Chain A
């Protein structure tokens, strides 16, 4: 496996499907769907293979690919010959550690399931699947990139692809939703770009005097270099003032906070949940939101442990606000998709809680919660898609008693709901429990306030799920049929993953063995 550029293969494998699709006639609906779905299996199989080959006991990064990509010489005249070279360099640097592995795995799983859910797409299948696969490339890239510039590039790819996917194939208000999505996320990207530029210009600066008589000056976007300069500065590295560190940290916090989303930057994602096609929401809620948490961990926490520490209480409070605010609002929504949207806000609050604990339990709990929420919300929107096909509405006051005409889907919906409200034995519980356990060791009162979310979670989930499936059924729904096989397969697969993680959580906790070691050591030293 060592000789195969597995990371590149995974990242770029959806391009193969795009290539084939380009030469497929646009009116061959079935063929296009088959190609689309089949393509998502390639990275899925590769990731599973890598997951099995991943050696947890090995320290840190297990797979890595690093190539010089952009090399831009700068004017050396000012140095009057004292330096041999002066340049900016961006690398094509992909790497895989435990954190990336889990998120890539999530992306691959949700990718396949969302491709199945795309059978409900009604028009322009070719363009749809091309953009869909492009989105997948972007997501893989985001989670593997170890160069700021490369990361930014992949991040923007996901934005563009999602923008079109919402704007063209969404429901009635799709264009407004897409615009809002783009403007809001564009703002986040701008802040991220400023933060990245500042980082490259300061911590990315390197003086290389390894060869005698030669001095190489460079600005690098390489994450490893930046991390090194920030946490173990050598004599020649630029030292960031506390104010500068704080500025960059806040920029990153807001940039990724929009994506996560952290209250009060959440309103854009409500529209997306409500207006985007369910297959896209599966990816959006399942994976794209995790890019916010991932960015926060990778760049916020890891690069600025001391800043993180001084902001921990704020993060915890923001987390609790997310949990309760999301839960209370989920409680009064009349549209099931919005119940789910606010529930995502609430669940992302649990991620924040776990992160702000700054201990091993909390951090791993937060990671677990991310994966678990990804699977659960993917399952929810898979169901929403199939439901809408049959009822043409997902408003709670227009539904009810559907367990009678579609017992299978109602059963799966109930399982998704129970997982979402944190029933032990399903994945939601583990993430929630570990996050609360982690935080409780550090900030008892905040954690206890957060547990209110556990009660409220039960209330809004049962209100939503039972509102659809229990009670008397209206006559107009008598004729509707239960899930077709092509719909049932991804439902069962996602349910199986949710049960697996709930019963045997170690399977995704083990890969995280060394992921937070360095960070926790720095916190300990600093604290």
Chain B
């Protein structure tokens, strides 16, 4: 079928770019107008993305690619362009939709901030970059937008730049992800060198890596394939907060909460998963790289979930939860199911954005992030509490909420051939359900603890997005269930035979309910004292509360030595390198002084020097003769 809307897919990112330019030109005046410009432009993007999506839902739509040269000389062609496939059409809709809701929500959340236009300009720039990343047709272009979303994340994390914590978090977010980016950078260099005709576009990568003959012809051995795969994954690790580069993501919660929902839950952090899905053929060609993806993902899933149990900051709990869920997605792709990974990305975008925006609604009201300082908010903030509850159930994987179906798809994929990872996933699911129920009961039920007076529901501009997301958190799972494989068929282009694995469904449901039940017993009924448990295992509580001391470890093995080396080199530079220079200079000066002495006007001195010179000359001449 002829694609009509896809041909102009580039307009999707153009709208937010326009908003960014206009807002930057406006400066800080016209606050209300600026906000509306951003909302309207994002809305236009969303509508167009939806048109593309609807067009592609029709059967047999061909992928559309268009590009032009960006840098060209000699045999070098580096191009920019866009490509529309089912995978990125889906991403376009997710990104524009969440961005639109966050835009609307931020109108209320950021009200009264004197830099609100700057905020919306950054958000628009982010939306532009994220959409650009999604429709990029080649690796270099993707890298360009990859860096741009990173810088937007940095700007927004550090939006309240006067807070030292925000400054530190912004810096950390940029630098830690950059470590991953360099991996991706080297992967691109490798691809450029090895790919036939130096092609970097996804279509060529697909063609080469799916055909063993083409791989052999290009001289890409198994080792190189694995290396490229792992290096791409290193980029994804940085962006998607996977272990061991996860440390920036919880700190990034210093940014305004709508940003945490948009960038650090729904879209940018999922870019790593998207990247691995986009270049899946490379991974598919290398079993070793797949193993790495699967195990890093699985480990991150359980590792972050355990940390989530012991945190007290509402946003940090959600952040570790995000890290953990991204681990699930990676694990799914690693065990071979792009569909499951992308499906979880899809549902997660809605329920995690919902949870963050709900948390934002609470924070907005009581200006407090410690869950022990909340309590009993459910009565006064009914919409927030209900929608948050739906999000929590979806995240905990309770049927029929969306998270159940997608987590089930992930676990079912692990079940086939990776029983170990399946167990890891199940245990992590238990922890997930537990920390979410702990969070929910402590915040919304029980006696009010907060000192804040006049607690009431947030304005409609904030609650409407919550309601919309809550609806999606319920229904978005139905596109891909054991009874309806539409999503998988559509995404992968082939008929995926997904037979229902009732055992997996049952286990994951029971585990989820157990987790919630335990949370209910401890934090609602107070039947079990949480202090008593902590008292019995003080070292474990401490270990978890301190996030396994990973930050301290990095500080000790990277930051401190780097500073020491820097200090040592600075001393070396000043005393040795420059010392030699100064030495030579003063030697020259001394020679100069010495030779001035010779010209002191005394004939005797001249005579002496002449004599000495003659002797030297004679010695030299005679000496040479003797040789």
Contact = CB atoms under 8 A, between A and B. Distances in A.
Interface of A: 180, 183-184, 264, 266-268, 325, 328-329, 331-333, 360-361, 364, 401, 403-404, 418, 423-425, 429-430, 433-434, 436-437, 440-441, 447-448, 451-452, 454-455, 458-459, 462-463, 466, 469-473, 505-506, 509-510, 512-513
B565 interface: yes
A506 B162 contact: no
B554 interface: no
Contacts of B179: 455
Nearest to A266: B577
A332 B190 CA distance: 33
A506 B70 contact: yes
28 contacts: A180-B585, A183-B585, A268-B581, A328-B565, A328-B566, A329-B566, A331-B562, A332-B563, A332-B566, A333-B570, A361-B76, A401-B162, A404-B162, A423-B151, A425-B148, A441-B192, A459-B175, A466-B161, A466-B170, A470-B166, A470-B167, A471-B162, A471-B167, A472-B162, A473-B162, A509-B73, A510-B73, A513-B73
Nearest to A458: B178
A455 B182 contact: yes
A462 B71 contact: no
A454 B185 contact: yes
Nearest to B160: A470
B76 A267 contact: no
A219 to B, nearest CB: 32
B166 to A, nearest CB: 8
B577 A267 contact: yes
B162 A470 contact: yes
Nearest to B28: A407
B191 to A, nearest CB: 11
Contacts of B185: 436, 451, 454
B540 to A, nearest CB: 34
Nearest to A505: B71
A454 B167 contact: no
B567 interface: yes
B161 A471 contact: yes
Interface in B69-84: 69-76
Given A441-B193, A466-B161, 16 more contacts: A264-B577, A268-B581, A329-B566, A329-B569, A331-B562, A332-B563, A332-B567, A333-B570, A434-B71, A452-B182, A454-B178, A454-B181, A455-B179, A462-B171, A466-B167, A510-B73
Contacts of A328: 562, 565-566, 569
B115 to A, nearest CB: 8
Contacts of A447: 189
Contacts of B171: 462-463, 466
B578 interface: yes
Contacts of B143: 424
A482 to B, nearest CB: 11
Contact of A325 (B164, B562, B569): B569
B577 A506 contact: no
Please give me the 5 A-B residue pairs with the lowest Cβ-Cβ distance, nearest first: A332-B566, A424-B144, A267-B578, A470-B167, A440-B189
Interface string B486-520: 00000000000000000000000000000000000
B186 interface: yes
Contacts of B552: none
A333 B143 CA distance: 31
Contacts of A463: 171
Nearest to B171: A462
A197 to B, nearest CB: 22
A4 B73 CA distance: 31
Nearest to B166: A470
B174 interface: yes
Interface in B565-609: 565-567, 569-570, 573, 577-578, 580-581, 585
A268 B581 CA distance: 9
A440 B148 CA distance: 24
A429 B185 CA distance: 12
B161 A403 contact: yes
A21 B186 CA distance: 54
B235 interface: no
A425 B150 CA distance: 13
A459 B175 CA distance: 6
Contacts of B74: 360
Given A459-B175, A472-B164, A184 B566 contact: no
B67 to A, nearest CB: 15
Contacts of B145: 424
Nearest to B192: A437
A180 B581 CA distance: 10
B251 interface: no
A139 B354 CA distance: 60
Nearest to A502: B144
B193 A440 contact: yes
